[in-house]
Each structure stands twice: as C-alpha cells, then as structure tokens.
Amino acid sequence: MTKVYKKNSGNGMLCLYLGRRDFVDHVEHVDPVDGVLKIDPSALNGKKVWIQLACAFRYGREDLDVIGVSFRKDIWIKRIQMHPFEGTKPPNTPMQDALLKKAGEQGHPFTFDIPVHLPCSVSLQPGPEDAGKPCGVDYEVKAYITNEEDETDEKVVKKDTCRLIIRKIQYAPNELAPGPKTDLNKQFITADKPIHVEASMEKELYYHGDPIPIKLKVNNETSKVVKKIKISIHQITDVLLYSADKYHKCVLNEEFADQINANSTFEKEYRVTPLLANNKEKRGLSLDGKLKDEDTNLASSTILLPNMDKKIQGLVVSYKIKVTLMMGGGLLGSLTSSDITAELPLVLMAPKPAGQTSTLNRLNSQ
C-alpha cells in the first residue's frame, strides 16, 4: 500500500495531504506541487485559511531565534487563500483526484508551480553535538489559520498550523557529456626527460553508489620511481547566500601500492566509490536534502541553466577527482621528491527512476 503523506493541525481543523514529497527539477521545468487541504469550517469563526510553499535557507540553530537574530532567510514564498477561496481553480491533476478520495468532501486541491531558477534541496551534515534542523536549503508546505490577510506567519499559533517538508531534486540527464581527460608532463630539475601522465574517464557523470572507473597511463622517462598511487575525491560547496564561503571536503581517499619504475610505462584502471557511509562524522558535508531521519546520500552536483543567478541557489555543489603519483625521493630523500597530481571534474547525481507514475497508479487502485 502506497503511503499518503498527511499532517493534521493541533486543533484538528486542517489536514494536509500529499501523494509524494519529492518533486523533480527537470532543469527546464519543475514538477508542480499538487496536494489537497482538508478544512473543517465549523470552528473558523470568520478566520481565513491559507496555504504556502516556501523555499528558505537555514544557516543557524532554530532555538537561537529568541535573541532576535533570524537564522532563516526566505528565498521564495507563494501563498494561496484556501478559505474563503479567492481566484480561479485550475483543473485537478490525477494526483489530486486520488487524494480527494482520501480527504472526502472537505478536501480542497491546491497547486504550486516552482520556478526553475530556485535551488534544489541540500543540507549540511551536522556535527555530533549539533541539535535542531540542519543548515541548508529546504522547501516547506504549510497551511495555517489567520485573522487578517496581512497577518504574518510569525503571529500564527502553532496549533493552527500543519506543515510538511518536501524536496526539490534533480536526476541525471538522459544525454551524457563525454568523459574528461587530463594530460600533463612533469619535468624534474635532475632529469633530462619528463614523466607523462594521462588520467581519463569514459564519462563525466556517475550515479551515487556506483563505482567510478579511472584510467591512468604513465610514461616515466626519468630515473625517479613512483612509490604508490593516491586517488581522492573532493566535494566543493559554495555558500553564496549570506557569505562567500567555500567548503572543501575530501569524501574519498585511497592509496594503491602500485610502483612505477624508472624508464618504464604503466597503464591501469582504478575503481573507486565515494559513499556517505564513509563520511558520517564530517560536519559541513553537503547532502541531498533529508526528510526526517531518512537515509540520504552525498549531495548531487548542482546543474544550472545558462545565465542563471548562482547567488539565489544558496549552495552550489561540485566535485573533482585528484590522481596523485607519490614520488620516491632522490639522493636527498624527500627534499627532492615532488608528487604529481592530475585533476578531473566529476558530476555525481541520482539516476532517473523508472516508472515515476507508479505512485499515482497505486493510489488510484486503493
């Protein structure tokens, strides 16, 4: 049986229904947020009922808001008056028709269109001692009862509200770019000839949890020896909304005991897999937005439309791979050693699931 996401207000007068909590950003358009709000008008006493969708960036602990400093910045917010309803109702979506069967006669459909320029849901992994909601970008659907149209959210009492966090997510595109390749020559002062390094991948985009094959070719024309190979993957998060911070987090670091002798060639494919499970203790690591305590993964790479304003994204995530040849020292030991590093860009995303309409089909069959 497919789960229907629902949340009641403390006073029992409102109940919010959603058939899903993940809404896909297809880059050129975003899935509409289509739900149903059940309203019991018997005790409203002339009060109005509103529903809103807000995209906000949270960058501090919620319990510190009492000192008068806001740690939540709204990026985008849209409100619809649900009772008494004003405006023109769009046709119901198939999802809303299915939810109305659950909500009954007091159910009222609502639809929000998310602009394409808004960020995807991303959260920063908290430290073990951190409490409250994590920092990051989140989306919240919230229904509430107010006396006046211009009354702000902060004045609404908790029992008159119900809310659900949703996620705006991106899946990997169908058309993939060709894989990157890096060529470099390193010339040592003590050697007549260079060492040539070529690192490449078959494609630039890989799915979360899948092994990433990296091809390495080395032509060592020097008298130096490569003692071992190190491969590391780094997550770079640009925090653009409230400051110009940049976080570099190493999410994978593996060493391979392959030795490349002087005046020799070497060719090998390495397979590495960056996983959140191996990075649970790293505070400030970017993750795909979480819903309660559900498992998530490393944040997907941010895909932007051309000419899109990066600042409104709040957090922009990218990855790079470093392939390092760790050189043995010469006559003077480590003083004359000089490691060689080749870098490759990496796009990390989730695959588009098959049969995205299956949730709706199961809802209708109940």
In contact, 284 and 124? CB cutoff 8 Å: yes
d(CA 258, CA 268): 10
Return all residues near 126 (Cβ < 8 A) that are at least 6 apart: 134, 135, 283
Sketch the domain layout of the chain as residue ranges. Answer: 5-170, 181-349
Three-class secondary structure of residue 54 per DSSP:
strand
**What type of residue is 258?**
D
d(CA 141, CA 162): 8
- Tally: H helices and E strands in the chain: 2, 20
**Mean per-residue pLDDT pooled into runs of 10, the chain (366 residues):** 83 94 88 95 88 86 48 86 86 93 94 91 79 80 82 72 93 84 89 91 94 97 93 91 77 96 96 94 87 79 77 84 85 61 95 58 44
Q: Please state the pTM of the whole predicted model.
A: 0.83
Closest residue by Cα to residue 242 from 45, 73, 357: 73
**What type of residue is 70?**
S
CATH class held by domain 5-170: mainly beta
One fold for 5-170 and 181-349: yes
- The pLDDT value recorded for residue 131 is 62
181-349 has which CATH code?
2.60.40.640
